[in-house]
Structure 1
Amino acid sequence: MAVLSKIRKNSVLLVGAIGVGLFAFVIGDVFQSGGFDQNSRYIGSVNGTDILAQNFLAKVNNLESNGQGSLSQVSNQVWNQEVKSIILDEQFEKIGIVVGKDQLLQYIVNSPEFSQNPQFLNSAGVFDINKFKEFLATIRKTSPEQWQAWLGYEAQLEQFAKEQMYNSLISASIYTTKFDAQTVNFREATFVDFDYVTLQYSTVADDQAQVSDAEITAYVKKHAKLFKTVPTRSFEYVFVENKPSENDIKDVNAEMMDLLNGKVVYNAETGQNENQESFKTTTNVAEFVNANSEMPFDSSYVTKALLPLEYQEQLANLPVGEVFGPYDFDEYALLTRKLEAKKNASAKVSHILISHAEANSPIGSTRTKEEAKVLADSLLNQVRTNPAALGILAMQYTDDPGSKQTGGVYDNVQRGQMVPEFDKFLFNNAVGATGVVETDFGYHVMRVDEFYDGMKLATIVRRVQPSAETQDELFKTANLVFAEASEGANLADVAKKHQVVAMPTVVGKNDDQINGLGSSREIVQWAFNKATKVDEVKKFDIATGQVIVKVTEKNDSDLMTASQAKAYVEPILRNEKKAAILKAKLTGSTLADMAKNAQTAVSVANNITLANPNIAGLGIEQEVVGAAIGLGVDKISPVIAGNTGVFVVQAKAIKPATPLVNPLSKTMQINQQVRGTAAARVYQSLENKAKIEDNRYIFR
C-alpha cells in the first residue's frame, strides 16, 4: 500500500465492526477483566432482579475486545440484552415456557455455524451428531475455558428458543375480524372530492405567537409518555484544539521547499558552504526519503483509484521523474515524486477455492483430492457456460473465507502478492480467461476480471505540529477562557472575545461521547457528579487540546426539560396560538364568503382517501379529510386546526368503498402485517411498564 493511503489510515480513528460467528464465540475468551470499576456488586436491576456487575462487565469486555463497537455501544448492547432477558424470563415463567434438551439440540443442529461446519460433517457431507457430541466431550475434558464459553452459548441459545416460542404464541393470538377488514377497505377505497379554504400558519409572524418555557413544561407533563428520557446534563464547552498555527504550517512548507530544491548548508568540518542534495535530482530516492520523511519509502505500485480523491488527477498525470508538492494531506505536508509508471501492475480476479484433506487449508476439508478436482472442473464448466454465475457459486462453494462474502473477488492484486501458481495464471492471461489452478491450498476456479496500470511514488511526509510558541499561546487562551468563565462571565461571550467557539450539548449519564470531542467519559462523569453545580466551570486536558466546560442545566427527572423538548413542542404550541388568530378571519356562511373575507381563494381537492390524506401542495391532513368524509356532501365544516394551517371544508362528492363480499384475503393481509410487529410491540409495552434501575454510569 502506498504511503498516502497509510497516512489516511493512521490519521483517522477507524472502529471496525467485525462480525463474529456463533462458533467463534464458543471457542473465544469470554471472561476478560478490565475496563470498568468493579467495586460494586450490582450494576442495575429490572423489576427487583439484580444484574451482577461481574457478569455484565465480562460480557461488555468480551464484545469490545472482539471489535463489536465502542465501549458505549457494547455497554448499551449488553444492557439491552440483560433487561430484555429479565423481562421475558418473567413472562416465560408465568406461562410455563421451557425448552427441553432434545429441543435445544434441534436448534443446534439447525444452526449453520454447526450444521455446515466441515468438522461435524460425515463423508456424505451431512451433519453428524456423534461428531458434535465428541467435540463437546473433548473440550469439556481438555479446555475448561472453552467449556464454560459453550455453556454460556447454550444458555443464550435456550433463551433464544424460549423467545421464539413466546413470539409464536403472541403471533398465533392475533386475530383480525371481518369488521377490521371492512374498516381498512373503507379507509383505502372511499374517495372524496371537496372544496376548502385554508389560511396557513406561515402567514402569522412567530413573534405574534410566542411560547414560554412554562407552557412547554406543562405540555411535556401532559404528554409525559412522549417525553420520557434518562437523566441528562446540559453544558457549554470551549475546545481549544492543540493544532498548528499558520506560521507553523509555513515553517514546515519552507522545510519541504528546501528538500525539494536543495539548499546551501555550512559544513563545520570543512568550513565550507555545501549544496544539499534535492528531492528533484537525487539518484538514491529510497535513501533520501528514509532520511527525511516520517514514513519510510514504499516500493509498491498503486493504481489511480487508490490515490486520495483530492489529489488523484495531479498525481496520476504527473510525468515520471517530476515532483508534486508541497501539498497538505490531513495533518501532514508532503512531497511526491513519480518514479515509474507500469502497465498491468495489479489486477482484479474472481476465484472459487475447492480445498481437500491434503491441502494446506484452515477449513479442514474432509474432501479427497480427486473429489476436489472433479468439483472444480464441474464449477469451471458452469462458469464458462454462464460467467455471471461465478459470484453466486463462490458464495456457495468456496473454501476461502477471505473472499466468500465478496463473491470470490480479490481486487487490486499486485504481482507476487499471491502464491506463485495463482500469480502466474492471473498475470499471464488476458482479461476473461478462466481455468483451474492447483496450489497448496487446493484447486482454484479462476477468472481474470481486469488489469490496472500502476505507478510507483516516493513521498516525503512531515507531520505539521504546533510549535512550542503555539502551544504556549493555546495554553494561555484556554486559561483566560477558564478564568473569566469561572468568575461568572458568559462563556459564549468569553469564547468570542478570545476567537474560539462555545458549543452547547446535552449528554446522558451513560454517554461516553460528546459531539465535537469524541470519547470524553471524564467530562460526563464530572457533569453528573453530585457535587458539580449548575454554572460550575472546569478545565480538562485531553489528548487533542483543552476543554473548558460550564454546566448549564441538570435534569434528574425522567422527563425532558423545556429546553430539551423545545424543538419538538414549541412549533406545536405556536401553531395552536396561530390557529386561534387565523380562525377569527374565517367568517361567512359559505366558502366563497370566507375566502373573500380572508382575502384568499377556494381550493379544490379530488380523489382523496383516509389511507392517503395528502392534499396537493400542503401534505398530510388527516383531520381535514376525515371531516370532509364524515360530514357528508355539501355540509360545511367548522374551522379545523390542521397540520399546516386552519381549514374549512365542504365535500362535493363522496364515492363510497364497495363492501368486501369475501373479506378473507384482506383479513389475512392485515393479520400478517399485525403479526409482523406484534411481538416487538408487546415487549416495548412490557419494558415501558418495568421498573428499571440503571447504574452503569457509576462503573464507567
Structure 2
Amino acid sequence: MAVLSKIRQRSFILIVIIALALFSFVLADVIKSGGFGTNSNNVGTVDGTDIDGQAFMRKVAQLEKQNQNTTSTQAINSVWEQEVRGVVIGNEIEKLGLGIGNEQLINVIKTNPYFAQNPQFLNEAGMFDEAKFREFVLSIKNDPNQDRWVEWQNFEKEAEKAAVEQMYYNMVKGGVYTTKAEGEFKHLLENKKVTFQYVTVPYNTVNDEEVKVSDDEIIAYMKNNAKKYKSENTTSIDYVLLENKPSKEDEAEMAKKINRLMFGQVVYNETTKTNDTLPSFREIKNVGEFVNENSDIKFDSTYVAKKDLPLEFQEQLFNLSKGEVFGPYVFNGHQCISRMLDRKPNSSAKASHILIGFAGAERSTATRTKEEAKTLANDLLAKAKANPSSFVTLANENSEDPGSKSNGGEYDNITPGQMVPTFNDFVFDSPVGAIGVVETAFGFHVIKVSAKYDAVLLGTVAQSIQPSEATIDAIYTKASKIEADANGKDFAEVAKAAAVEVIPATNIKSSDENIGSLGNEREIVRWTHNEDTNIGDVKRFETPQGFVIAKLKSRNESGLLSLDIARQSVGGILKNEKKSEILKKKMTGATLADVAKTSGGSVITASNIALGTPNIPNIGNEPKVVGKAFNLEANKTSGVIEGNSGIFMVQKTAVVEAPKTNSYASYISQEKTQQQNAAQSRAYQALKEKATIEDNRAKL
C-alpha cells in the first residue's frame, strides 16, 4: 500500500521560489477586475520617491496569487527590489528622456504569451491581429465597469516601464566594447603558463589559541574595508524552543490504543447493555473500511515495491505472509500497524541492454545498415552468453543508448508497459538470467534479465503521534514561566533551571523570514526590528514547532557586518596575518631545499599553471603565489609570500609562452560578451549604492 510513501511525503514541505518579472502581472486577471487593500503607509522611500503601501501590497498579493509556492516575505522582497530598481533606473531614464510611442507599446505587449498565443487576438493565419487587439482594448475602455479599464492602464504602464528599462540597459550594454589589446591579454592569461617549485607551510599548523584577535581589531579592519564588509542593519537573539512533543504518558496511551486495534478489544454496548468483543486487525474482513475508520491516513490500494517501504522495517513488512500483521512500529511521527493483503509477482524487473542502431532507426545516428546491425547484435549476444559477467563491459563499449550506457546498460524497476512492446515482452516473459536479442524501432537490443521483483499490498493503520491537551497545557505553563522569569533574570540561568537549551540566532535582517532551524518565523523577525523592542526584551511566540521564548540580544546599525559574522570571516583573515608572522621565522635558508628543511615542508613542483586560473594542485586558488612565480627571474627564489592557505616560497623553473595567433577575434568576442552581460548589473548596483533608500519592510 502506498500509504507508507504518503507518510514519507508528509514529513517535509518543498518550497520552490520563483522570481518572475512583474510587467506581466495582469495577464488573464487584467481582463477581469479585482484589487487588494491595505493601509496607505509608505513601504519606503527611494531618492525622495515614496513607495505607496497600498499599491505595493496589491502587487505582493498578485505575485503570491501567480506563484502559489511563494511565501509572503519572498513576495514582499521581490516586489521591493522591483520597486527600488524601477525608481533608481526610472530617474536615469527620465534624465535621458527615453520613452516609447503607442505603436512600440503594441509591439511590446504582443510579445506577451497571453496575447501572442490567445486565439482571441489571432487572425486566420494564426498571426497576431492588431485590429482585434485594438477592438479588445476599446471594449475595456467602454465597459461600464471602469475597474477593468484602470487595471488595463496599470498593465500598459508596467509594460511600457519594462520596455523602456530594457532600452536603457541595451544602451548601457551598447557602450561596452573590447579592444584588441584586451583580447591579446585574455589570450595571454589563458595560454601563458609557468612551472615552478615551492615550499609552503599552512596557516592551520599554528593553533588558533596562539593568536588572539580582538573585536576592536575586527571592527578597525572592516572600517578600512567598508565597501567589502557593508551590511544592512541586523539583529541577534537568544531563544529557547519548547516543542509540542507528546510526553511519555501520551506515547504510552497511544501504544495502548494501537494495541487495542491490533489485538482486538472488549467494549461496553450501551444499547444492549452487554460487552462486545471487537475483532483484531488480523481478523477483520474489510481492511479498507477498518483503516479508514481508525487511521489518520486513508487506505490506498496501490501495490508497492520493496524499495518503497520504510527502510528500517523493509524486510519485516515485505516478507509478511498473507494476512499476517506487523507492528506496532513508529514511522515518521506515526504509530503504525500493517497487514499483508496481497502479493503480486513480477510487478517490476531489472534488465540490462546493448542498443545497436542502424541508418534509418529512430533517434539513431549510426551509418551501418540494418543487416550489419543485426550481425553485430548477434555477435555481442554470443559473447554475453559465453561470459554473462562481461555484459557490463560489452554495454559500455558498444551500446548506443545514452540513458544507460554509462552504467552497463542497466535499467532497474522496469514496470510492465514502460518499455516498447518487444523489449517489454522479452523482459517479463523470460526467466531471470535470460539473454536474447529483440528488434525495436530504435534498433537491435541485446537484453539480459537480471531480476524480477514482487509488489505488495498492505493495509496500514497510521495514527499521528500528538501531544495530549494536558501535555500542551503543561508546555504552555512552562513557556509562560520562562518568559516571566527571563524578564527579570539572566536568560541563560533561567534556561538552565528549566533544562532547556539556549540557541543563538545572528545576522537577522529586516527582510528575512527564516530564523535558524525554526524556519519561517516572520513575526519574530519583525519583533526584533520593531522600534518599540529594546535590547534585553523577552517575548514568547507560538510557532508550528512549539513555544519560542526569545530575547533581543543586540542590534547592529553600524552599516558593517555584525561581529558574530565578522568573527568568522574577518577574524580568520586577521588570525592568518598573525600566524604568518610566526611562520615566517621558519622560512629561512638560501635555497628551497634549505627552507624545506627548516620549515618541515617539502619542495613541490607545480606545472603549467595559467595566470588566468591560478590554482595550485592540492592547494587551491593562490593568485599572489602564481603571480609572483610569473614575475621571477628564472631559477631565482622569491621571498616569503603570504598566500590564501599558508605562506610560500617559490622558484620559477620554466615558462611556456602563449602560442602566437593570427586573430584574437574569439577572445575579443568572448570578453565583450562577458563584459556586456555584467554591465547591466554593475550599472544598476552603482546607481543603487548612490541612492538614498529608506526601507520600512520590517513593519510588514
Counterpart residue number, 2:368: none
Counterpart residue number, 2:433: none
Question: For residue 251 of structure 1, what is the amino acid of its counterpart?
Answer: E
Structure 2 vs 1, CA of residues 275 and 464 (structure 1 numbering), >3 Å: closer, same or farther? same
The secondary structure found in structure 2 opposite 1:633 is: coil
Contact 2:346 2:454 in 1 (8 A): yes
Counterpart residue number, 2:164: 162
Structure 2 vs 1, CA of residues 600 and 344 (structure 1 numbering), >3 Å: closer, same or farther? closer
Residues 530-580 of structure 1 deviation map (CA, whole Å, 9 limit, x = unaligned): 343323322223344211111211112321222221111111100000111
Structure 2 vs 1, CA of residues 216 and 135 (structure 1 numbering), >3 Å: closer, same or farther? same
Structure 2 vs 1, CA of residues 55 and 631 (structure 1 numbering), >3 Å: closer, same or farther? same
Structure 2 vs 1, CA of residues 129 and 340 (structure 1 numbering), >3 Å: closer, same or farther? farther
The secondary structure found in structure 1 opposite 2:227 is: helix
Counterpart residue number, 1:475: 476
Counterpart residue number, 2:79: 78
Query: For 1:664 and 1:326, how far apart are their aligned partners in 2?
Result: 72
Contact 1:31 1:62 in 2 (8 A): no
Question: For residue 62 of structure 2, what is the amino acid of its counterpart?
Answer: N
Structure 2 vs 1, CA of residues 245 and 656 (structure 1 numbering), >3 Å: closer, same or farther? same
Residues 611-638 of structure 1 deviation map (CA, whole Å, 9 limit, x = unaligned): 1222222112111111121132133322
Structure 2 vs 1, CA of residues 431 and 463 (structure 1 numbering), >3 Å: closer, same or farther? farther
Alignment of structure 1 residues 224-239 onto 2, 5 Å: 224-239=226-241
The secondary structure found in structure 2 opposite 1:188 is: helix
Residue among 332, 335, 340 paired with 2:334: 332
Query: For 2:495 and 2:45, how far apart are their aligned partners in 1?
Result: 43
Query: For 1:695 and 1:23, how far apart are their aligned partners in 2?
Result: 26
The secondary structure found in structure 2 opposite 1:251 is: helix
Alignment of structure 1 residues 116-127 onto 2, 5 Å: 116-127=117-128
Counterpart residue number, 2:225: 223
Counterpart residue number, 1:354: none
Counterpart residue number, 1:582: 583
Residues 497-541 of structure 1 deviation map (CA, whole Å, 9 limit, x = unaligned): 534322111221232332222332332232223343323322223
Matched, 1:466 2:474: no
Deviation at 1:150, TM superposition (A): 3.0
Alignment of structure 1 residues 405-484 onto 2, 5 Å: 457-484=458-485
Counterpart residue number, 1:104: 105
Deviation at 1:315, TM superposition (A): 5.1
Counterpart residue number, 1:378: none
Deviation at 1:179, TM superposition (A): 1.8
Structure 2 vs 1, CA of residues 541 and 146 (structure 1 numbering), >3 Å: closer, same or farther? same
The secondary structure found in structure 2 opposite 1:516 is: helix
Counterpart residue number, 2:609: 608
Matched, 1:33 2:33: no
Residue among 231, 243, 246 paired with 1:244: 246
Residue among 322, 325, 330 paired with 1:323: 325
Alignment of structure 1 residues 619-634 onto 2, 5 Å: 619-634=620-635
Deviation at 1:245, TM superposition (A): 1.8
Structure 2 vs 1, CA of residues 547 and 431 (structure 1 numbering), >3 Å: closer, same or farther? farther
Counterpart residue number, 2:377: none
Alignment of structure 1 residues 281-360 onto 2, 5 Å: 281-296=283-298, 298=299, 300-304=301-305, 309-310=310-311, 318-340=320-342
Query: For 1:305 and 1:121, how far apart are their aligned partners in 2?
Result: 53
Counterpart residue number, 1:49: 49
Counterpart residue number, 1:545: 546
Residue among 266, 279, 282 paired with 1:280: 282
Structure 2 vs 1, CA of residues 639 and 18 (structure 1 numbering), >3 Å: closer, same or farther? closer
Tell me whether 122-131 or 680-689 shows the greater mean CA deviation.
122-131
Question: For residue 242 of structure 2, what is the amino acid of its counterpart?
Answer: V
Residues 646-687 of structure 1 deviation map (CA, whole Å, 9 limit, x = unaligned): 122222222333455433332222112211221112112211
Deviation at 1:94, TM superposition (A): 2.0
Query: For 1:616 and 1:529, how far apart are their aligned partners in 2?
Result: 50
Residues 197-231 of structure 1 deviation map (CA, whole Å, 9 limit, x = unaligned): 22221121111111111111111111111222221
Residues 40-66 of structure 1 deviation map (CA, whole Å, 9 limit, x = unaligned): 2x2111111111111101101122233
Query: For 2:498 and 2:256, how far apart are their aligned partners in 1?
Result: 29
Contact 2:632 2:638 in 1 (8 A): yes
Contact 1:301 1:454 in 2 (8 A): no
Contact 1:636 1:650 in 2 (8 A): yes
Structure 2 vs 1, CA of residues 481 and 613 (structure 1 numbering), >3 Å: closer, same or farther? same
Identity among equivalent positions (%) equals 40
Query: For 1:339 and 1:139, how far apart are their aligned partners in 2?
Result: 61
Deviation at 1:25, TM superposition (A): 3.1
Contact 2:40 2:52 in 1 (8 A): no
Structure 2 vs 1, CA of residues 501 and 633 (structure 1 numbering), >3 Å: closer, same or farther? same
Query: What TM-score, normalized to structure 1?
Result: 0.78
Deviation at 1:468, TM superposition (A): 3.9
Query: For 2:262 and 2:547, how far apart are their aligned partners in 1?
Result: 36
Deviation at 1:239, TM superposition (A): 0.6
Tell me whether 175-184 or 8-17 shows the greater mean CA deviation.
8-17
Counterpart residue number, 2:88: 87
Deviation at 1:24, TM superposition (A): 8.0
Deviation at 1:319, TM superposition (A): 4.3
Structure 2 vs 1, CA of residues 19 and 324 (structure 1 numbering), >3 Å: closer, same or farther? farther
Query: For 2:163 and 2:503, how far apart are their aligned partners in 1?
Result: 48
Deviation at 1:341, TM superposition (A): 5.4
Query: For 1:14 and 1:586, how far apart are their aligned partners in 2?
Result: 53
The secondary structure found in structure 2 opposite 1:611 is: coil
Counterpart residue number, 1:140: 141
Contact 2:530 2:698 in 1 (8 A): no
Alignment of structure 1 residues 517-556 onto 2, 5 Å: 517-556=518-557
Question: For residue 162 of structure 1, what is the amino acid of its counterpart?
Answer: V
Query: For 1:82 and 1:504, how far apart are their aligned partners in 2?
Result: 33
Contact 2:90 2:165 in 1 (8 A): no
Tell me whether 609-618 or 324-333 shows the greater mean CA deviation.
324-333
Structure 2 vs 1, CA of residues 160 and 74 (structure 1 numbering), >3 Å: closer, same or farther? same
Query: For 1:59 and 1:623, how far apart are their aligned partners in 2?
Result: 49
Query: For 2:638 and 2:16, how far apart are their aligned partners in 1?
Result: 58
Structure 2 vs 1, CA of residues 617 and 546 (structure 1 numbering), >3 Å: closer, same or farther? same
Alignment of structure 1 residues 175-190 onto 2, 5 Å: 175-190=177-192
Counterpart residue number, 1:376: none
Question: For residue 621 of structure 2, what is the amino acid of its counterpart?
Answer: I
Query: For 1:697 and 1:188, how far apart are their aligned partners in 2?
Result: 47
The root-mean-square deviation of aligned C-alpha atoms, in Å, is 3.5
Matched, 1:62 2:56: no
Tell me whether 685-694 or 584-593 shows the greater mean CA deviation.
584-593
Residues 469-492 of structure 1 deviation map (CA, whole Å, 9 limit, x = unaligned): 43344234434533443343242x
Counterpart residue number, 1:413: none
Deviation at 1:9, TM superposition (A): 5.8
Give the count of matched residue pairs: 605
Question: For residue 293 of structure 1, what is the amino acid of its counterpart?
Answer: S
Question: For residue 207 of structure 2, what is the amino acid of its counterpart?
Answer: A
Question: For residue 630 of structure 1, what is the amino acid of its counterpart?
Answer: N
Structure 2 vs 1, CA of residues 284 and 200 (structure 1 numbering), >3 Å: closer, same or farther? closer
The secondary structure found in structure 1 opposite 2:517 is: coil
Tell me whether 60-69 or 468-477 shows the greater mean CA deviation.
468-477
Deviation at 1:328, TM superposition (A): 2.5
Query: For 1:472 and 1:48, how far apart are their aligned partners in 2?
Result: 51
Counterpart residue number, 1:409: none
Tell me whether 637-646 or 298-307 shows the greater mean CA deviation.
298-307
Structure 2 vs 1, CA of residues 150 and 5 (structure 1 numbering), >3 Å: closer, same or farther? farther
Deviation at 1:247, TM superposition (A): 2.9
Contact 1:26 1:150 in 2 (8 A): no
Query: For 2:33 and 2:558, how far apart are their aligned partners in 1?
Result: 36
Structure 2 vs 1, CA of residues 135 and 318 (structure 1 numbering), >3 Å: closer, same or farther? farther
Structure 2 vs 1, CA of residues 274 and 26 (structure 1 numbering), >3 Å: closer, same or farther? closer
Query: For 1:18 and 1:636, how far apart are their aligned partners in 2?
Result: 54
Query: For 2:273 and 2:114, how far apart are their aligned partners in 1?
Result: 74
The secondary structure found in structure 2 opposite 1:600 is: coil
Any unmatched runs of 5+ in structure 1? Answer: 347-383, 389-425, 434-451
Tell me whether 213-222 or 605-614 shows the greater mean CA deviation.
605-614
Query: For 2:281 and 2:129, how far apart are their aligned partners in 1?
Result: 66
